[in-house]
């Protein structure tokens, strides 16, 4: 009964802050209690307690009815051992009147304590009560999480051999100075985000506040923190890394009502968390990556298994972008999940992830391809291609990249992926790659039966991809692909060099006497993208031709000169204008990719060697899985 009294008093006070101000008719719910009201209230409370006290003695003895017959005695009254009548645990056996006296004094003490607690509660302000209740709620939520198994450790798996995860000192003091400058730029980008945008997805460096776009829904998931972690780690910015880790531990929560891009969340968040896990060995990153991946899985619930472009993290409802041809999913989006999902199956022992991505590959393999090319649009309901538009830039790019990287990441055992990559690249070379009148090699876009002689900044990543895929290419064409990579790197460098600010435009033409320059106003922007620098870095690793370091340094200086503002780094609206106007966005990929590739360009090759690491499309390094005789969970089930 006394337990009931305590419960009742607590329940009343617990109600107070949850009611809207003025919504309650119960007078002591108001913060402005008058003294006389308090007094009356105390009187009522003590009368009630006295009544309970009396009832204990005058109501019939129910002890024989065995009140706690659910085996809960220990939990409810742990200090009484019911198996031995009258024995207080650890104390002497007490009989008859002795037991009654003891209980009576205990009950009296309990009542006094309750009265004190009630008085204490009435003395507290509404805010204090609200804070206390919130703390209680948090505790319960944490306990529930543990009960759900969310906090359960994942099964241990052998850690792949991790080679070259620190230092990379280039030796040469001049190169080191450049590398230090890139590190300083990273510090400025991070510190600014830390100061003005912390916890938001991105930063507005001129407005000095947080920023987000529709790819992250209306969430505040700290995209910049997750995306930047591994760059901080390899640059040796350890206290910044720790700050990021703490934020993730305490705040990164995926049960939010936000409709996010499956692709972006995969490459930036899952890729970023997995890389941070492998580099640092901190379990929290792995656990968060797996929790998030679970939230993406409902996106695959379509008639074909081709995922929706977007999914609501809370409801699991998916849909496609309104602008995509005929309700289609996008090739570069559903085709850029393989690396992360294979690692998820490896780390969890759960075949579901692997099965989802291998199903996509099998489905694509069965489809007809116009001219051997993959269109960018595929309808997830019908399994039919949408508009016949093929691109190695936006909408198509990382699909090809992930075929090659699936092979590399499997220690070159996934030969199906390699073959698919080789076939795709052969068709691309035949139909999309041309030389301009001025001798620049470019990759155009195929649109409904004709070639558009335009190349995007995004397409410039392909130089690095060709170089990376050179070794292992069919018919001993390694030299050819390395050369193709070098030509693309040269063209993309020209696109930078032919601007006023020495920064590349979003898209550039090879038409009507124009060579590697943007024509339309809305293609003249530079938003801190990495692709050109990414290609310089791969070319540097494979050739050690000093021009790549030179070109990288030119780009770094131009970024520092034109994009740096006091609140971080901003994109530029027109790279052909000498008076730059800013777009006021510090993209998370600037920290994840652009600065990382620059740093690696001025490091020695033993930092993240390419024989041991494969970079996802957001530049997050994942180790090669040398599985030997081990089969990935689910791989034998899907043939």
Q: Given the residues 445, 506, 593, 618, select the one marked as catalytic.
A: 506
Cβ proximity to ligand DMJ: between 333 and 515 the closer is 333
Q: Does 445 engage in binding with ligand DMJ (CB under 6 A)?
A: no
617 marked as binding residue:
yes
- Note if 452 is an active site residue: no
Cβ proximity to ligand DMJ: between 224 and 398 the closer is 398
Q: Given the residues 397, 422, 487, 618, select the one marked as catalytic.
A: 397
Q: Which residues ranging from 527 to 566 are in contact with ligand DMJ (CB under 6 A)? A: 529-530
Q: Which residues contact 280 (CB under 8 A, 6 or more apart)?
A: 233, 241, 245
Cβ proximity to ligand DMJ: between 215 and 297 the closer is 215
Backbone torsions φ then ψ of 198, nearest 5 degrees = -50, 125
Say how far apart CA 616 and CA 272 lie, in whole Å: 9
Say how far apart CA 374 and CA 384 lie, in whole Å: 12
- Asked whether 580 and 537 are in contact (CB, 8 A), the reply is no
- Note if 506 is an active site residue: yes
Considering the complex, what minimum distance in angstroms separates the CB of residue 400 from ligand DMJ? 11
Considering the complex, what minimum distance in angstroms separates the CB of residue 438 from ligand DMJ? 26
Q: Does 589 engage in binding with ligand DMJ (CB under 6 A)?
A: yes
DSSP state of 287: H
Q: Which residues ranging from 456 to 495 are in contact with ligand DMJ (CB under 6 A)? A: 458
Closest-approach residue to ligand DMJ (CB): 617
Cβ proximity to ligand DMJ: between 205 and 530 the closer is 530
Q: Which residues contact 74 (CB under 8 A, 6 or more apart)?
A: none
Other C-beta atoms within 10 Å of 487: how many?
18
Considering the complex, what minimum distance in angstroms separates the CB of residue 469 from ligand DMJ? 17
Q: Given the residues 445, 531, 583, 593, select the one marked as catalytic.
A: 531
- The DSSP element (H or E) to which 129 belongs, if any, is helix 126-148
Other C-beta atoms within 10 Å of 590: how many?
30
Say how far apart CA 90 and CA 84 lie, in whole Å: 11
Say how far apart CA 416 and CA 189 lie, in whole Å: 41
Considering the complex, what minimum distance in angstroms separates the CB of residue 549 from ligand DMJ? 22
Q: Which residues ranging from 379 to 408 are in contact with ligand DMJ (CB under 6 A)? A: 398
Q: Does 617 engage in binding with ligand DMJ (CB under 6 A)?
A: yes
Considering the complex, what minimum distance in angstroms separates the CB of residue 514 from ligand DMJ? 23
**Minimal CA–CA distance to 625: which of 637, 610, 613?**
613
Say how far apart CA 465 and CA 489 lie, in whole Å: 11
DSSP state of 330: E
DSSP state of 236: T
CA atoms within 13 A on the CB side of 174: 3
Cβ proximity to ligand DMJ: between 160 and 335 the closer is 335
Contacts with ligand DMJ by CB under 6 A: the residue count is 8
Cβ proximity to ligand DMJ: between 330 and 516 the closer is 330
- Asked whether 233 and 278 are in contact (CB, 8 A), the reply is no
- The DSSP element (H or E) to which 360 belongs, if any, is helix 352-365
Considering the complex, what minimum distance in angstroms separates the CB of residue 528 from ligand DMJ? 8
**Minimal CA–CA distance to 392: which of 374, 377, 369?**
374
Cβ proximity to ligand DMJ: between 268 and 562 the closer is 268
Cβ proximity to ligand DMJ: between 398 and 441 the closer is 398
Say how far apart CA 548 and CA 550 lie, in whole Å: 5
Considering the complex, what minimum distance in angstroms separates the CB of residue 601 from ligand DMJ? 17
- Asked whether 490 and 440 are in contact (CB, 8 A), the reply is yes
Q: Given the residues 259, 264, 515, 593, select the one marked as catalytic.
A: 264
Among 380, 618, 620, 622, binds ligand DMJ (CB under 6 A): 618
Rounded to the nearest 10 degrees, what angle do helices 338-348 and 397-409 cross at?
40
Other C-beta atoms within 10 Å of 196: how many?
19
Considering the complex, what minimum distance in angstroms separates the CB of residue 12 from ligand DMJ? 53
Say how far apart CA 220 and CA 118 lie, in whole Å: 40
End-to-end Cα distance, the chain? 65
- Note if 169 is an active site residue: no
Catalytic residues: 264, 397, 506, 531
Binding site: what residues are annotated? 617
Binding site for Ca(2+): what residues are annotated? 617
Binding residues (CB under 6 A) for ligand DMJ: these are: 398, 458, 529-530, 589, 593, 617-618
């Amino acid at each position: 009964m006394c337990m009931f009294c305590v419960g009742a008093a607590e329940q009343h006070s617990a109600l107070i802050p949850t009611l809207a101000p003025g919504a309650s008719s119960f007078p002591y719910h108001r913060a402005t209690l008058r003294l006389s009201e308090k007094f009356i209230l105390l009187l009522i409370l003590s009368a009630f307690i006295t009544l309970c006290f009396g009832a204990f003695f005058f109501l019939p003895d129910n002890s024989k009815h065995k009140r706690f017959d659910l085996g809960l005695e220990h939990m409810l009254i742990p200090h009484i051992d019911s198996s031995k009548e009258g024995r207080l645990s650890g104390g002497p056996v007490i009989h008859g009147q002795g037991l009654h006296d003891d209980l009576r004094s205990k009950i009296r003490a309990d009542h006094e304590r309750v009265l004190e607690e009630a008085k204490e509660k009435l003395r507290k302000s509404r805010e204090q009560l609200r804070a206390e209740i919130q703390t209680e709620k948090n505790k319960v939520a944490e306990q529930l999480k543990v009960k759900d198994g969310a906090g359960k450790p994942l099964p241990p798996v052998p850690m792949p051999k991790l080679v070259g995860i620190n230092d990379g000192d280039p030796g040469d003091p001049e190169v080191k100075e450049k590398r230090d400058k890139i590190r300083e730029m990273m510090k400025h980008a991070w510190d600014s985000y830390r100061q003005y945008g912390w916890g938001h997805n991105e930063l507005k460096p001129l407005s000095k506040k947080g920023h987000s776009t529709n790819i992250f829904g209306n969430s505040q998931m700290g995209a910049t923190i997750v995306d930047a972690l591994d760059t901080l780690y390899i640059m040796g910015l350890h206290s910044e890394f720790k700050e990021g880790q703490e934020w993730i531990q305490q705040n990164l929560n995926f049960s939010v009502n936000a409709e996010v891009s499956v692709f972006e969340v995969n490459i930036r968040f899952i890729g970023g968390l997995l890389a941070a896990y492998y580099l640092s060995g901190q379990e929290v990153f792995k656990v968060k990556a797996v929790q998030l991946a679970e939230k993406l899985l409902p996106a695959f619930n379509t008639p074909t298994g081709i995922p929706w472009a977007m999914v609501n993290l809370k409801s699991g409802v998916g849909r496609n972008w309104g602008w995509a041809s005929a309700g289609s999913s996008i090739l570069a989006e559903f085709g850029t999940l393989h690396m992360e999902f294979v690692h998820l199956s490896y780390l969890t022992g759960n075949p579901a992830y692997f099965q989802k991505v291998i199903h996509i590959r099998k489905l694509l393999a069965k489809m007809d391809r116009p001219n051997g090319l993959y269109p960018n649009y595929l309808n997830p309901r019908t399994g039919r291609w949408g508009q016949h538009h093929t691109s190695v830039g936006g909408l198509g790019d990382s699909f090809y990249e992930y075929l090659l990287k699936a092979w590399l990441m499997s220690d070159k055992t996934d030969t199906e992926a390699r073959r698919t990559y080789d076939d795709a690249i052969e068709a691309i070379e035949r139909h999309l790659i041309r030389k301009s009148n001025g001798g620049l090699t470019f990759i155009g876009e195929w649109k409904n039966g004709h070639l558009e002689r335009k190349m995007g900044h995004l397409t410039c990543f392909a130089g690095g991809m060709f170089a990376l895929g050179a070794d292992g290419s069919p018919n001993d064409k390694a030299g050819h692909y390395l050369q193709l990579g070098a030509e693309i790197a040269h063209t993309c460098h020209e696109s930078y060099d032919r601007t006023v600010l020495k920064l590349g435009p979003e898209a550039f033409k090879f038409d009507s006497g124009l060579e590697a320059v943007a024509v339309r106003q809305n293609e003249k922007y530079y938003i801190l993208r990495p692709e050109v620098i990414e290609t310089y870095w791969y070319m540097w690793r494979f050739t050690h031709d000093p021009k790549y370091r030179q070109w990288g340094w030119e780009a770094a200086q131009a970024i520092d000169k034109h994009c740096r503002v006091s609140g971080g780094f901003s994109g530029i609206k027109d790279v052909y204008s000498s008076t730059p106007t800013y777009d006021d966005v510090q993209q998370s990929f600037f920290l994840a990719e652009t600065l990382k590739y620059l740093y690696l360009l001025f490091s020695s090759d033993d930092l993240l060697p390419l024989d041991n690491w494969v970079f996802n499309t957001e530049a997050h390094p994942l180790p090669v899985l040398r599985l030997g005789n081990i089969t990935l969970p689910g791989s034998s089930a899907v043939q």
